[in-house]
Amino acid sequence: MNKIGKHAVPLKKEALGFVGNRIQLAVLREAFHIVDEGIASPEAVDDIIKYSLGRRWNLVGPIASADLGGLDVFKNISSYLYADLANATGTDPTLEKMVDNGKLGLKSGQGFYDWQGDTGKRIVADRDAALLDQLKHDHNAKKD
């Protein structure tokens, strides 16, 4: 992995799914819950991640971020917020309904967003170019 410019991370033991997928699904479960409960729209949830957590976690991961913010603060927040977070263990009902209705996202042209036309292809191309730039930056930083 390191030879091809990726950042290999050793794990302590095997677990179902990749660690990144597990974290992503935990975030998605709560994001879907927020939308299902009418707290925020899909667009608002995406903007909150893009313009706050996503930027922060791109620089330091969630655990380092908690350390930097103060574990006492996160303990206090967890004491009341955990009880209100999504904790379902089955498939999200909204996600299941959308898939059953053929709303698969970009591949079907409709999901939470309308992906008709070239908008989705442009976003994917822009995202992929930005990710490649970040990989190049990481690779060059290792050389320094």
For residue 2, pLDDT beyond 90: no
For residue 142, pLDDT beyond 80: no
Q: pLDDT averaged over the chain?
A: 92
Interhelix angle 93-100/19-36, nearest 10 degrees: 90
In tens, the pLDDT along 105-121 reads 999 999 999 999 999 99
7 versus 69: which is more confidently predicted? 69
Q: How far is CA 39 from CA 60, 68, 91, in A?
A: 27, 28, 20
Q: In the chain, where does DSSP find H-type helix?
A: 19-36, 42-48, 54-59, 62-69, 71-81, 93-100, 119-143
Q: How confident is the model at residue 144 (pLDDT cuts 50, 70, 90)?
A: low
Q: What is the pTM of this model?
A: 0.86
In tens, the pLDDT along 13-59 reads 999 989 999 999 999 999 999 999 999 999 999 999 999 999 999 89
